[in-house]
Amino acid sequence: MNAGAPILPPATIGILGGGQLGRMLGLAARELGYRVAVLDPDPDCPAAAIADRVEIGAYDDTAAALRLAADVDVLTYELEHVSAAMVATVAEIRPVRPGIRSLQVTQDRLAERAFLGEAGAAVVPWRAVHTVDDLRVAASELGFPLRLKASTGGYDGRSQFRIADNTAMVGAIARLNAHHGQSLLAEHEVEFTAELSVVVARGADGSLATYPVGRNRHDEGILVESVAPAPIDPDVAAAATALARRLADAVDLVGVMTVELFLMPGGGLVVNELAPRVHNSGHWTIEAAITSQFEQHVRAMCGLPLGSTVLRAAAATVNLLGTGARRPARLAGLEDALALEDVHLHVYDKREVFERRKMGHVTATAATIELALGRAMAAHAMLRWSEEG
């Protein structure tokens, strides 16, 4: 692959999406001396505070994306739900990294399954579903319980239903179709031993780097905790790493990608999802790895050498989710939480808090993942969203 000339500071990096991922990505870019411009519908989005410019527009507003692109040197996306048509148009005037293929393959679960199948990666048995009859057939072939997922637009457990038996089928499909009016994917609900993820980076020259495997815990589809290095058999870790590298090559990645995996009782690995971007399950790399996933993404997209992915310490990240009714966000308990050793608090500066919204995270480092997790959880327990607002 021809890497071309590197894009050097003070070039401007355009980020499609201004949430917390864009914020942390932009911060890493700024440290290296890059300038940052963001597209987001919300002028008060988390990335606004660290951006030189915010172009206001929805994630499918091609005119706004073109205005953003006009004054940047390279673009990336912080979520895979940006419109592929918009990205394709923007890519005609500026490089977008990772490219359109990574986006198309991962923003549609059905396309992703097809890609994974071609790449020889194991996945949970699944069927495409458009009607209740399709779902009945899928249920008889796959067996209950099922997970019914929207093929596009779902994240953090949204657009996903668990179907325990026949009685739940019609309601689930009606709710998902009403929301999304599009195709669905039904898959068998598996009993995994652990959820794992691998953050892999691929440079514009095809060079690869992988971080140690992380172990994740989700609650109703939303990530609550990650630890690294995952306490797993070294052979499993090696297999997960090799798989991530293979998939990064297959999707022609330039940037970082997270491969989310289920570790099955026999030691096998199945891929649940790919995210061709910085990812919540890699936040621990900020404090615990020589190069954070955010800096790594910037390095890759700008054609710079990839950084070391070696760990400085074991790490645990616990997400700080919103609680209660929608109200202005005021965090209490920082004085106690920050008094703990090796605890790092990241607050995303979202104006409003509500139940289960991702508001921030706590990372702790220590000699072991048990110690790190204990610290992160202790800090987390001291933090709360004030009722007064």
Report the residue number, 222 or 340, with the smaller CB distance to ligand AMP: 222
Decide: is 147 part of the binding site for ligand AMP (CB under 6 A). yes
DSSP β-ladder status, 126-129 and 184-188:
antiparallel
Q: Which residues of 121-160 are buried (b: 16+ CB within 10 A; e: fewer)?
A: beebebbebeeeebbeebbeebeeebbbbbbbebebeebb
Total residues binding ligand AMP (CB under 6 A)? 14
Task: Considering only residues 27 through 46, tell me which ones interact with ligand AMP, judged by CB under 6 A.
Answer: none
CB 358 within 8 A of CB 389: no
Cβ distance to ligand AMP smaller for residue 80 or 187: 187
> Could you give the CA distance from residue 124 to residue 229 in angstroms, rounded to a whole number?
25
Complex with ligand AMP: residue 97 or 279, whichever CB lies closer: 279
Q: How far apart are CA 178 and CA 45, in angstroms?
A: 28
The angle, 0 to 180 degrees and rounded to 10, between the axes of the packed helices 293-301 and 20-31 is: 70
Whether the Cβ atoms of residue 71 and residue 88 lie closer than 8 Å to each other: no
Return the residue of 180, 218, 246, 384 that touches ligand AMP, per CB under 6 A: 218
- DSSP string of 193-238, one letter each residue: SEEEEEEEEE-TTS-EEEPPPEEEEEETTEEEEEEES--S-HHHHH
CA distance 155 to 25: 19
The tokens describing 56, both together, are 């206001």
Does residue number 272 form part of the binding site for ligand AMP (CB under 6 A)?
yes
Minimum CB distance to ligand AMP smaller for 191 or for 388: 191
If you search the block for the tokens 């030691």, which residue do you land on?
A: 267
Please state, as a whole number, how many other Cβ atoms lie within 10 Å of the Cβ of residue 267. Answer: 12
| CA dist., res. 384 & res. 49, Å (int) | 23
Residue 285 as a binder of ligand AMP (CB under 6 A): the answer is no
* Shortest distance in whole angstroms from residue 228 CB to ligand AMP: 16
Q: How far apart are CA 200 and CA 260, in angstroms?
A: 11
* By CB under 6 A, residue 157 contacts ligand AMP: yes
- In 62-151, the DSSP E strands lie at 74-77, 126-129, 146-150
- Residue 76 or 160 with smaller CB distance to ligand AMP: 160
CA separation for the pair 169, 28 (Å, rounded): 45
Question: In the bound complex, what is the minimum distance in angstroms from residue 272's beta carbon to ligand AMP?
Answer: 5
Of 78, 80, 273, 287, the one binding ligand AMP (CB under 6 A) is 273
- Residues 173/128, Cβ–Cβ less than 8 Å: no
Q: Please tell me whether residue 113 binds ligand AMP under the rule CB under 6 A.
A: no
Choosing from 221, 231, 268, 333, the residue that interacts with ligand AMP (CB under 6 A) is 221
Q: Which is nearer to ligand AMP, 263 or 313 (CB)?
A: 263
Binding flag, residue 358, ligand AMP (CB under 6 A) = no
Q: Which long-range contacts (CB under 8 A, 24 or more apart) does 166-169 make?
A: 166/139, 169/132, 169/135, 169/136, 169/139
Q: Is the Cβ of residue 211 or residue 262 nearer to ligand AMP in the bound state? A: 262
- Shortest Cβ 126–ligand AMP spacing (Å): 8
DSSP β-bridge partners for residue 228: 315
Smallest gap from Cβ 250 to ligand AMP, in A, equals 20
Residue placing its CB nearer to ligand AMP in the complex, 13 or 142: 142
167-206 residues near ligand AMP, rule: CB under 6 A: 187, 189-190, 195
The span of 19-27, 52-60, 153-161, 325-333 binding ligand AMP (CB under 6 A) equals 153-161
Question: How is residue 252 annotated by DSSP?
Answer: T
* Shortest reach from residue 190's CB to ligand AMP, in Å: 4
By CB under 6 A, residue 281 contacts ligand AMP: no
Nearest CB to ligand AMP, comparing residues 40 and 187: 187
Closest CB to ligand AMP belongs to which residue? 218
**Is 55 an interacting residue with respect to ligand AMP (CB under 6 A)?**
no
Among 29, 38, 87, 124, binds ligand AMP (CB under 6 A): 124
Q: Measured from the CB of residue 267, what is the shortest distance to ligand AMP in angstroms?
A: 17
Nearer residue to ligand AMP within complex by CB, 257 or 300: 257
Residues at the contact surface with ligand AMP, assessed by CB under 6 A: 124, 147, 149, 154, 157, 160, 187, 189-190, 195, 218, 221, 272-273
